[in-house]
C-alpha cells in the first residue's frame, strides 16, 4: 500500500497537456526517483502534490485527499519539499532560514511572542536546538551565521535540503537537489539523502538528472516523458528499458545507457 | 513525534547562559543611559525635537515592519495616524474619556482599518497595492474633515493634557520620558516579534510567497496580520501625536506625511528596526537643518513658504541620493563604519 499516491492526475495549462493521466505511488521508507527530460512534468507533479497547481484526478496521502487543499495546509500535514533554485530567504542567515521551516511546530501566541514571555523563550530554544542539530548533521554549522544570499549556490541547495528536514516531514519531495552542485557536493548530498531515508523511514520523491546518483541510491524509478508515465521499476530494469532510454537520452545514445550516463536532453530551467 | 535522529527528545535547551555582555548589549545600555540623562542638559526646544522624533520613531517602526520586513508597500500611513488622532480626539471631545480608553480604542480602530485595507494585498502588490492604500488615506481624511465640520470644530479638536495615575503629562520633560519609554517598548516588542515565528513568516513571504506557503506559512493570514499589527501601532502614534500637540486637525495628516515615513525607512535602511529609528531622527531633523542653513546663508528671503518648499526639495534630493548611493541606508553606512573600525581581535571575540 502506498503512503502517497497519485491516480490519473491530469493537468492542463490552456490547451497544453502538462500531465497526462499520471499515476504513481511511494511507500514509507522508499526513495522513488522521478526522472525524465526537462519539460516532462516532474516539477509539475510536485506542484500538484504541494497544492500550488490544481490538477484533476486523485492525490492521497495516508488516505486523505490533497486535492483542493491550500499549500500551507498540505505543508502542515507534513509534506515537505525542496526547490530547484533553493528559494531561500536571502537576507536571513542559514540558521534563520532553517528556523522558518519550524513554523508549524511553534505554538506561541502573538502576545507570548510580542512580550517574549518565558514560555516563548523556552519554545524558541527547544526548536533552535533542532535547527542546530540539522545544521551540524549537514556540516553547515560554520556557515550558519552568514546571510545565505552570499553563499555559493551548491551550499544554498544543501541549506534548502536542511530546511525541508527541519520541518520533520512525513513525506519529502526533493526537486533536483543535486543541480548546480560540484561532484564532491553531490556525493555528500547522496550520503545525506540516503541517511535521511534510513533515519526517517518516510516516503521520498526525488527529481534527479544525475543517473549515477539515481542508480546508486534510488529504490525505484518512475519515468515521465511529455507528461506521460513511460516506466516504473527498479533502477537497473528501468535504465535498460529501450523506451526510457530513447525518451530520456535520445536515440543516438542507446548503447551508452547505463549508470555512467547523465546527459539530460536539454539544460533548460523550470521554476515553481 | 520527532523521528529525525536529531529529535527533540534528545535535546535539552542550552541552560548555560553567557554572563558576559556582548558589545551590542553594551552599546544599547550606553544609548539608553545617554537618552535618560539627555534632558538634564537640554533646552525645551531640544526636548520638543526629541519628543517629535520619538513619536515619528513609533510610526516608522510600524512602517518598517510592514514594508521593510513583510514587504507590503503602503501610502496609507498618514491616514492611519489620522485615524488614531481622530479616534482619540472624538472620544475625548464627546465623552471626556481618559487615555486608558482613548489609546486602546485608537489601536483597535487602526487595527480594524488595517485589516480592511490589508485585504487588497491578497491580490495586489507593489505600486498597485500602494495606490489602494492611498484610498485609505483619503477616506480617513474625508471622515475626519466631515466630523470637524459637523461638530462645528472647523479648525480642529482641542485636547487637554493626558492624565496618568494622577499626573498630568504637560511639560517637555514628562513628555520626553513618556515617549522615550513608549518608543523603546514598541521597539522591544517589534524586535521580539521579528525574532519569533511571526517575524520569520513575514520575512519568508516577503522573499517568496510560493516558497513560504510551501513551508506551511499561511501567507494570506500573515499578510493581514502585518497590516493589523502595524496599523494598530501607527494609529497609536497618531493618538500620541494628538495628545502631544493638544490638538487634532486633518491638516496635520497630509500625503506628504506618508511620504516622509517612507523616506524614514528608506534612509534608515530597509528591513532594519534600528534603521527605522535612525530614519526618524534624520527625517525629523531635516526641516530644522534646512531652516538653519537658510538662516546661515545670506540673501535668502526667509519665510515659512520658502523653508517648507526647501524642505520638500531636500527630501526629494535625499531620497534620490540614498536610493542611488546607499540603498541599505544609514544602517548600511553604520555597519560599514563598524566593520572598518572593528579590530581583528574584537572579531575573534564573537564565537
Task: For residue A51, tell me if it sits in a domain.
Answer: yes
| Backbone φ and ψ of B292, nearest 5° | -60, -45
Find residues 180-199 of chain A whose CB sits inside 8 Å of chain B: 199
Least confident of A13-17, A25-29, A117-121: A13-17
How far apart are the C-alpha atoms of A78 and A104, rounded to whole Å?
A: 9
Subunit contact B200:A165, Cβ cutoff 8 A: no
Task: For residue B345, tell me if it sits in a domain.
Answer: no
On the question of pLDDT at B42 being above 70, the answer is yes
Contacts of B208 in chain A (CB under 8 A): 87, 89
Task: For residue B213, tell me if it sits in a domain.
Answer: yes
Q: Are A159 and A223 part of one and the same domain?
A: no
DSSP B64: I
Task: For residue A262, tell me if it sits in a domain.
Answer: no
On the question of pLDDT at A267 being above 70, the answer is no
- The C-alpha of B102 sits at a distance from chain A's nearest C-alpha, in angstroms, of 21
Subunit contact B218:A72, Cβ cutoff 8 A: yes
b/e per residue B292-322 (b: at least 16 CB within 10 A)? eebeeeeeeeeeeeebeebbeeebeebbeeb
Give percent above pLDDT 70 in chain B: 89
Nearest by CB: B196 against A88, A108, A129:
A108
Contacts of A104 in chain B (CB under 8 A): 216
- The C-alpha of A111 sits at a distance from chain B's nearest C-alpha, in angstroms, of 9
Task: For residue B143, tell me if it sits in a domain.
Answer: yes
Interface check B205 vs A, CB under 8 A: no
Subunit contact A116:B192, Cβ cutoff 8 A: yes
Q: Under 8 Å CB-to-CB from B230, ≥6 apart: which residues?
A: B62, B63, B65, B66, B114
pLDDT band with cut points at 50, 70 and 90 for residue B19: low
Q: How many CA atoms lie within 13 A of B103 on its CB side?
A: 14
Cell of B327: 540603498
Q: Are A215 and A95 part of one and the same domain?
A: no
On the question of pLDDT at B340 being above 90, the answer is no
- The C-alpha of A241 sits at a distance from chain B's nearest C-alpha, in angstroms, of 35
Tell me how many residue pairs between chain A and chain B have CB atoms under 8 A apart: 128
Task: For residue A201, tell me if it sits in a domain.
Answer: yes
pLDDT tens-digit map of B137-175: 999 999 999 998 888 777 789 999 998 888 888 899 999
Q: In this predicted structure, what is the pLDDT of residue B127?
A: 87
DSSP for A33-87, written as a single string? EEE--TTSSHHHHHHHHTTSS--EEEEEETTEE-TT--HHHHHHTTEEE--TT--
Contacts of B203 in chain A (CB under 8 A): 89, 91-92, 96, 100
What residue numbers bound the domain in which B195 lies? 42-281
Contacts of A136 in chain B (CB under 8 A): 6
Question: Helix B77-95 vs helix B255-268: angle between axes, to the nearest 10 degrees?
Answer: 130
Q: Give the SS3 label for residue A176.
A: coil
Give the residue from B254, B259, B275 showing the smallest Cα distance to B327: B275
- Once rounded to an integer, what is the mean pLDDT over residues B33-57? 94
CB neighbours (10 Å) of residue B338?
12
Q: Under 8 Å CB-to-CB from B130, ≥6 apart: which residues?
A: B73, B74, B75
Q: Are A96 and A160 part of one and the same domain?
A: yes
How far apart are the C-alpha atoms of A39 and A24, rounded to whole Å?
A: 18
DSSP for A137-169, written as a single string? HTT-GGGTTSBGGGS-HHHHHHHHHHHHHHT--
Interface check A115 vs B, CB under 8 A: yes
On the question of pLDDT at B14 being above 60, the answer is no
Q: What is the dihedral of CA A133, A135, A137, A139, to 10 degrees?
A: -140
On the question of pLDDT at B348 being above 70, the answer is no
Task: For residue B150, tell me if it sits in a domain.
Answer: yes
Q: Are A222 and A97 part of one and the same domain?
A: no
Nearest CA in chain A to B202: A100
Q: Are A74 and A197 part of one and the same domain?
A: yes
Nearest CA in chain A to B216: A72
Q: Are A210 and A141 part of one and the same domain?
A: no
Q: With 0-12 CB in 10 A as exposed, 13-18 as middle and 19+ as buried, what is B113?
A: buried
What residue numbers bound the domain in which A221 lies? 1-78+169-182+190-256
| DSSP β-ladder status, A228-233 and B157-158 | unpaired
Q: In this predicted structure, what is the pLDDT of residue B278?
A: 96
Give the residue from A42, A68, A39, A17 showing the smallest Cα distance to A173: A42
Number of compact structural domains in chain A: 2
Number of compact structural domains in chain B: 1
| Backbone φ and ψ of B52, nearest 5° | -60, -40
pLDDT tens-digit map of B244-257: 999 999 999 999 99
pLDDT band with cut points at 50, 70 and 90 for residue A250: low
Q: Are A13 and A62 part of one and the same domain?
A: yes
On the question of pLDDT at B260 being above 70, the answer is yes
Q: Complex ipTM, two decimals? A: 0.87
Interface check B61 vs A, CB under 8 A: no
How far apart are the C-alpha atoms of A35 and B281, rounded to whole Å?
A: 57
On the question of pLDDT at B293 being above 50, the answer is yes
Subunit contact A113:B198, Cβ cutoff 8 A: yes
Q: Are A212 and A96 part of one and the same domain?
A: no
Q: Give the SS3 label for residue A7.
A: strand
Q: Are A56 and A116 part of one and the same domain?
A: no
- The C-alpha of B254 sits at a distance from chain A's nearest C-alpha, in angstroms, of 31
**CATH number for A148:** 3.40.50.300
On the question of pLDDT at B347 being above 90, the answer is no
Amino acid at each position: 500500500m502506498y503512503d502517497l499516491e497519485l491516480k490519473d492526475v491530469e493537468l492542463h495549462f490552456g490547451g497544453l497537456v502538462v500531465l497526462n493521466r499520471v499515476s504513481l505511488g511511494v511507500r514509507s521508507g522508499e526513495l522513488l526517483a522521478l526522472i525524465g527530460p526537462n519539460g516532462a512534468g516532474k516539477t509539475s507533479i510536485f506542484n500538484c502534490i504541494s497544492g500550488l497547481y490544481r490538477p484533476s484526478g486523485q492525490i492521497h496521502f495516508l488516505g486523505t485527499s490533497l486535492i483542493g487543499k491550500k499549500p500551507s495546509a498540505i505543508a502542515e500535514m507534513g509534506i515537505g519539499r525542496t526547490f530547484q533554485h533553493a528559494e531561500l530567504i536571502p537576507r536571513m542567515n542559514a540558521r534563520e532560514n532553517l528556523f522558518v521551516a519550524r513554523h508549524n511546530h511553534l505554538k506561541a501566541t502573538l502576545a507570548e511572542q510580542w512580550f517574549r514571555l518565558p514560555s516563548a523563550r523556552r519554545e524558541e530554544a527547544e526548536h533552535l536546538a533542532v535547527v542546530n542539530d540539522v545544521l551540524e548533521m549537514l556540516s553547515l554549522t560554520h556557515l550558519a551565521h552568514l546571510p545565505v544570499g552570499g553563499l555559493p549556490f551548491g551550499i544554498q541547495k544543501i541549506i534548502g535540503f536542511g530546511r525541508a528536514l527541519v520541518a520533520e516531514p512525513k513525506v519529502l519531495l526533493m526537486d533536483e537537489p543535486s543541480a548546480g552542485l560540484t561532484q564532491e557536493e553531490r556525493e555528500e548530498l547522496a550520503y545525506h539523502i540516503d541517511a535521511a531515508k534510513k533515519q526517517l523511514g518516510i516516503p521520498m520523491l526525488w527529481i534527479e538528472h544525475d543517473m549515477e546518483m539515481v542508480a546508486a541510491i534510488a529504490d525505484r524509478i518512475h519515468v515521465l516523458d511529455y507528461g506521460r508515465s513511460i516506466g516504473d521499476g527498479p533502477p537497473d530494469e528501468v535504465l535498460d528499458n529501450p523506451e526510457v532510454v530513447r525518451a530520456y537520452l535520445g536515440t543516438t545514445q542507446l548503447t551508452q545507457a547505463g549508470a555512467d550516463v547523465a546527459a539530460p536532453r536539454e539544460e533548460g530551467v523550470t521554476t515553481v | 513525534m520527532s523521528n529525525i535522529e536529531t529529535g527533540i527528545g534528545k535535546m535539552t535547551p542550552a541552560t548555560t547562559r553567557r554572563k558576559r555582555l556582548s558589545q551590542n548589549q553594551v552599546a544599547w545600555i550606553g544609548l539608553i543611559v545617554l537618552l535618560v540623562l539627555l534632558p538634564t542638559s537640554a533646552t525645551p526646544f531640544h526636548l520638543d525635537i526629541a519628543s517629535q522624533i520619538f513619536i515619528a520613531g513609533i510610526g516608522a517602526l510600524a512602517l518598517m515592519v510592514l514594508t521593510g520586513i513583510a514587504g507590503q508597500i503602503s501610502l496609507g500611513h498618514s491616514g492611519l495616524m489620522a485615524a488614531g488622532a481622530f479616534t482619540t480626539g472624538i472620544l475625548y471631545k464627546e465623552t471626556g474619556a481618559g487615555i486608558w480608553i482613548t489609546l486602546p480604542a485608537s489601536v483597535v480602530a487602526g487595527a480594524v482599518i488595517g485589516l480592511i485595507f490589508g485585504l487588497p494585498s491578497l491580490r495586489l502588490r507593489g505600486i498597485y497595492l500602494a495606490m489602494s492604500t492611498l484610498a485609505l488615506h483619503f477616506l480617513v481624511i474625508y471622515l475626519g474633515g466631515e466630523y470637524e465640520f459637523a461638530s462645528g470644530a472647523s479648525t480642529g479638536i482641542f485636547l487637554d493634557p493626558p492624565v496618568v495615575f494622577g499626573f498630568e503629562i504637560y511639560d517637555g520633560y514628562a513628555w520626553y520620558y513618556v515617549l522615550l519609554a513608549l518608543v523603546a517598548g514598541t521597539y522591544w516588542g517589534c524586535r521580539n516579534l521579528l525574532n519569533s515565528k511571526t517575524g520569520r513568516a513575514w520575512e519568508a513571504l516577503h522573499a517568496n510567497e510560493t516558497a513560504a506557503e510551501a513551508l506551511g506559512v499561511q501567507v494570506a493570514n500573515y499578510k493581514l496580520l502585518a497590516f493589523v499589527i502595524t496599523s494598530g501601532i501607527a494609529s497609536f502614534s497618531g493618538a500620541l501625536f494628538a495628545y502631544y500637540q493638544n490638538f487634532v486637525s486633518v491638516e496635520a495628516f497630509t500625503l506628504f506625511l506618508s511620504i516622509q515615513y517612507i523616506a524614514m525607512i528608506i534612509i534608515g535602511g530597509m528591513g532594519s528596526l534600528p534603521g527605522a529609528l535612525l530614519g526618524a531622527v534624520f527625517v525629523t531633523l531635516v526641516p530644522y537643518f534646512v531652516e538653519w542653513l537658510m538662516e546661515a546663508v545670506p540673501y535668502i528671503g526667509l519665510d515659512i513658504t520658502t523653508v517648507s518648499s526647501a524642505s520638500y526639495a531636500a527630501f526629494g534630493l535625499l531620497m534620490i541620493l540614498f536610493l542611488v548611493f546607499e540603498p541599505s541606508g544609514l544602517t548600511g553606512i553604520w555597519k560599514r563604519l563598524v566593520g572598518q573600525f572593528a579590530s581583528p581581535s574584537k572579531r575573534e571575540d564573537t564565537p
